[in-house]
């Protein structure tokens, strides 16, 4: 059996079932074998009917001596009732709304039933038990042979509409004996031995057909190790390739940096000083920097990046500064123009809706800002007349060329897609320096603290600088969960804050809806303001269609508009309320933000567009509707939009949910101000896939669980480093591993 054959070639897989498998990302035989269980139902206890006890989960085997259908008198519910007998007694089984079972189960047949035993005061019975027909020779109490759905640890798989775990178990049982012989173990024997790992064939058999919990544990460790090991190999290969490049040497000018730091209206924290020094040291090397600057909200990442940019420019080179949204790009443009004033620099902004340039006023003490044509921006950048080019993904278009780019800065880099981040490294133009070709130093920044397990894996090729302290004088933001009964009290409190001269953000809840596959099948839940999909057993993690995006955008607009109308007309008719959403044009957004910053509005109703980077020091209240619909990391980002000045600030979490899980998550936010601690809690509660956009890597859930295991990650990295030290980056001595790594890169989109 060819592992790369389409699923349509599998016996008993019709075109209809092939489409259903495709919805789960299963296109080949290999994909099907690598579709691992989410969990297991323990139906391994096999008992005689006469020994079955109420409330225990068991498997019994016997003969159907009677089976019939009827409807309940009041609700007219369709029921099937069967009486099963072995040599120790009889037991009833009842199934609800499954009329097809009358064709599947016949009087006189031998069956295996599994589930929880119930007691109605008179007799024992099963309610909706798992079932399968068996042969007479399987009746021995300890005989588990040939059982697929009962009498064993039964795997439960990710499913989709009209494709059940039971059907998947059937097909896997059908193809596994032939398919397993085609798998060649790519992991070197010495690694399997040192890590005490079972071989690949054994692991695949144990994950799908376990006899014991030990089988499951051994399989998970081996298969989790495989994927983490491949990630580490890829990352280390990328690091090696990156280090083969050459970059411009940016010499450190101590007097320049001291003078700039002294001109700032605040004192740098020790963390900022340390991070700046690490970056400036990197810039002096011929090996291009590839560093991640990770800092909590409000920790001052931008000023650290500005120091690096200034040093680069004064060495005669250009800087590119990429931000994920137009609002944030515009804010960086305004902030850098102000902080680098009177240094003789030209700073440009380019987005899909505007192009501007700022330069020192001939009169001094302020910046001149003027609109320019996009073609003039392209010309000036190519000629080296633009010192810093700031923009969104517009900066990685082929038409944008630099004369001597030496530093690329990416803010909130995780909010760009994997492909966009790759394009930045590949397409930000290499420059000719005599006979040598160099690439820019790369500084990535994020305000979303990364748990150490993810830092060791997904960002393991980056050097890391941490900003783990806030500027002095900042007060902690008081966070409260607001119950529905206390809504009016919260509104009264907001009014008091505004009377005191402060301003308020109101964030509307993330919009969620079911998405159809076009045939009326609901396959997943999608969110309007998140790169990830919401978890669920039947979810299908495909990219959103254009239709999905448009529908969600209009739903988002409707939510913001309704909240704006409610607050401006009913709740606060005497206050000035503005709104922001995805359908407002860029120039209007800019005007709204400028007016809000200039205190022309008291309240700004918005989507999560304010999550990142928006800086309104006078805002002291962050009110979040539907707080349960956001992740902790995103809620922490919202909270970071207030508390940016000397005033006491507040984050009000509104939720109508009485779920204990929701309360647990929100209480974690209330009790934790430190973003790094919160990141670890968010990882524990939600899992890494939803926490940090790792779904876009296409990794299966098994690896998602492995990403929580620090020790396993360290072992994988150790083995990968050792292997690459003994082999070439192309893995010449390990052809099976090289081939598997190539396929893995395609599978998980590691651009």
Which pLDDT tens digit goes with each residue over 358-408?
A: 999 887 777 899 999 999 999 999 999 999 999 987 787 778 889 999 999
For residue range 210-219, list pLDDT tens digits in order. Answer: 999 999 999 9
Helices of type H across 440-568: 452-457, 487-499, 546-566
Q: Is 684 helix (H, G, I), strand (E, B) or coil?
A: helix
The percent of residues in the chain predicted with pLDDT above 70, rounded, is 83
For residue range 99-135, list pLDDT tens digits in order. Answer: 989 999 999 999 999 999 999 999 999 999 999 998 8
Residue 111: which of 172, 60, 73 has the closest Cα?
A: 60
Q: Give the number of residues written for the chain.
A: 751
Residue 510, pLDDT score: 62
The yes-or-no verdict on residue 525 having pLDDT over 50 is: no
Residue 687, pLDDT score: 58
Residue 552, pLDDT score: 64
Residue 228: which of 655, 623, 706, 718 has the closest Cα?
A: 706
301 or 75, greater pLDDT: 301
The yes-or-no verdict on residue 279 having pLDDT over 60 is: yes
Mean pLDDT of the region 515-526: 36
How far is the C-alpha of 438 from the C-alpha of 432, rounded, in Å?
7
Q: Is 5 exposed, middle or buried (0-12, 13-18, 19+ CB in 10 A)?
A: middle
Neighbours of 149 (CB within 10 A): 22
Quote the tokens at residue 554.
């209009």
Mean pLDDT of the region 181-202: 95
Residue 427, pLDDT score: 46
Residue 538, pLDDT score: 29
The yes-or-no verdict on residue 186 having pLDDT over 80 is: yes
Mean pLDDT of the region 487-510: 93
Residue 146, pLDDT score: 58
pLDDT tier at 61, thresholds 50, 70, 90 = very high
The yes-or-no verdict on residue 259 having pLDDT over 60 is: yes
Residue 190: which of 744, 722, 728 has the closest Cα?
A: 722
> Torsion-angle region of residue 350: left (phi > 0), alpha (psi -120 to 50) or beta?
beta
Residue 425, pLDDT score: 52
pLDDT tier at 613, thresholds 50, 70, 90 = low
List the single range of 250-254, 346-350, 543-547 with lowest mean pLDDT: 543-547
The yes-or-no verdict on residue 518 having pLDDT over 90 is: no
Residue 535, pLDDT score: 28
How far is the C-alpha of 637 from the C-alpha of 623, rounded, in Å?
13
Residue 225: which of 183, 201, 190, 191 has the closest Cα?
A: 191
pLDDT tier at 610, thresholds 50, 70, 90 = low
Highest mean pLDDT among 33-42, 308-317, 693-702: 308-317
Q: Is 221 helix (H, G, I), strand (E, B) or coil?
A: helix
Residue 602, pLDDT score: 96
pLDDT tier at 681, thresholds 50, 70, 90 = confident
Per-residue b or e along 8-19, where b marks 16 or more CB atoms closer than 10 Å to that residue's CB: eebeebeeebbb
Highest mean pLDDT among 83-87, 236-240, 445-449, 699-703: 83-87
Secondary structure of 610-622 as H, E, C letters: HCCCCCCCCEEEE
Residue 694, pLDDT score: 43
Helices of type H across 35-184: 101-104, 165-179
694 or 479, greater pLDDT: 479
Residue 534, pLDDT score: 26
The yes-or-no verdict on residue 418 having pLDDT over 50 is: no
152 CB contacts (<8 Å, ≥6 apart)?
43, 44, 144, 209, 210, 211
All domains of the chain in start order, with CATH? 45-151 (2.40.50.140), 223-244+700-748 (no CATH), 254-284+300-446 (3.40.50.300), 478-672 (3.40.50.300)
pTM of whole model > 0.85? Answer: no
532 or 136, greater pLDDT: 136
For residue range 537-586, list pLDDT tens digits in order. Answer: 223 333 445 555 566 666 677 788 899 999 999 999 999 999 988 777 87
How far is the C-alpha of 71 from the C-alpha of 78, rounded, in Å?
5
Mean pLDDT of the region 136-161: 77
Residue 634, pLDDT score: 80
């Amino acid at each position: 059996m060819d592992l790369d054959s389409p699923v349509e070639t599998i016996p008993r897989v019709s075109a209809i079932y092939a489409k259903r498998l495709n919805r789960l990302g299963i296109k080949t035989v290999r994909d099907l074998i690598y579709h691992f269980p989410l969990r297991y139902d323990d139906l391994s206890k096999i008992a005689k009917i006469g020994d079955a006890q109420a409330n225990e989960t068991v498997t019994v085997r016997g003969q159907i001596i009677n089976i019939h259908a009827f409807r309940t008198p009041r609700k007219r519910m369709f029921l099937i009732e069967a009486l099963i007998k072995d040599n120790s007694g009889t037991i009833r089984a009842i199934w609800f709304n499954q009329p097809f079972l009358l064709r599947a189960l016949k009087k006189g047949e031998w069956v295996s039933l599994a589930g929880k035993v119930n007691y109605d005061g008179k007799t024992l019975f099963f309610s909706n038990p798992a079932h399968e027909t068996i042969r007479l020779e399987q009746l021995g109490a300890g005989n588990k042979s040939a059982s697929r759905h009962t009498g064993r640890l039964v795997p439960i798989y990710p499913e989709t509409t009209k494709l059940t775990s039971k059907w998947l178990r059937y097909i896997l049982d059908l193809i596994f004996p032939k398919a397993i012989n085609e798998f060649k173990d790519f992991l070197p024997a010495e690694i399997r031995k040192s890590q005490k790992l079972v071989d690949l064939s054994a692991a695949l058999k144990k994950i799908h057909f376990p006899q014991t919990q030990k089988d499951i544990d051994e399989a998970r460790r081996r298969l989790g190790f495989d994927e983490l090991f491949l990630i580490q190999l890829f990352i280390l290969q990328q690091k090696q390739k990156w280090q083969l490049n050459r970059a411009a040497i940016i010499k450190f000018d101590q007097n320049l940096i001291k003078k700039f730091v002294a001109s700032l209206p605040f004192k740098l924290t020790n963390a900022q000083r340390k991070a700046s020094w690490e970056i400036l040291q990197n810039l002096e090397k011929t090996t291009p920097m590839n560093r991640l600057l990770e800092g909590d909200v409000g920790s001052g990442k931008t000023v650290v990046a500005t120091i690096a940019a200034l040093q680069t420019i004064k060495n005669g080179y250009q800087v590119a500064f990429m931000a994920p949204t137009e609002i944030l790009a515009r804010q960086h443009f305004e902030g850098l123009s102000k902080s680098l004033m009177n240094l003789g620099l030209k700073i440009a902004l380019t987005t899909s809706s505007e192009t501007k340039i700022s330069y020192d006023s001939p009169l001094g003490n302020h910046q001149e800002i003027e609109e320019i044509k996009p073609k003039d921006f392209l010309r000036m950048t190519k000629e080296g007349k633009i010192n810093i080019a700031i923009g969104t993904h517009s900066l990685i278009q082929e038409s944008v060329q630099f004369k001597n780019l030496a530093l690329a800065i990416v803010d909130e880099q995780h909010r760009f897609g994997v492909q966009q981040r790759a394009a930045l490294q590949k397409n930000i133009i290499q420059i000719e320096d005599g006979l040598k070709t160099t690439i820019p130093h790369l500084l990535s920044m994020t305000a979303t603290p990364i748990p150490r397990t993810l830092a060791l894996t997904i960002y393991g090729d980056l050097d890391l600088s941490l900003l783990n302290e806030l500027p002095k004088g900042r007060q902690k933001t008081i966070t409260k969960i607001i119950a529905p009964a206390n809504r009016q009290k919260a509104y009264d409190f907001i009014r008091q804050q505004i009377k005191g001269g402060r301003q308020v953000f109101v964030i509307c809840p993330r919009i969620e809806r079911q998405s159809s596959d076009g045939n009326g099948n609901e396959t997943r839940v999608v969110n309007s303001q998140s790169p990830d999909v919401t978890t669920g057993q039947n979810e299908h993690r495909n990219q959103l269609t254009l239709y999905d995006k448009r529908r969600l955008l209009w739903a988002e607009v409707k939510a913001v508009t309704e909240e704006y109308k409610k607050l401006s007309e009913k709740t606060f008719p005497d206050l000035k309320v503005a709104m922001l959403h995805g359908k407002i044009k860029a120039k209007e957004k800019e005007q709204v933000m400028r007016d809000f910053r200039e205190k022309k509005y008291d309240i700004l109703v918005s989507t999560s567009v304010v999550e990142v980077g928006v800086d309104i020091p006078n805002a002291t209240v962050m009110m979040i509707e539907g707080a349960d619909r956001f992740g902790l990391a995103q809620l922490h980002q919202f909270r970071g939009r207030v508390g940016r000045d000397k005033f006491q600030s507040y984050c009000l979490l509104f939720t109508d949910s009485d779920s204990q899980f929701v309360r647990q998550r929100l209480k974690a936010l209330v009790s934790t101000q430190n973003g790094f601690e919160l990141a670890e809690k968010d990882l524990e509660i939600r899992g890494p896939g939803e926490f940090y956009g790792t779904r876009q890597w296409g990794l299966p859930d098994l690896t998602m669980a492995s990403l929580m295991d620090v020790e396993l990650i360290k072992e994988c990295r150790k083995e990968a480093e050792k292997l690459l030290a003994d082999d070439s980056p192309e893995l010449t001595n390990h052809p099976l591993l090289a081939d598997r790594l190539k396929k893995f890169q395609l599978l998980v989109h590691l651009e």
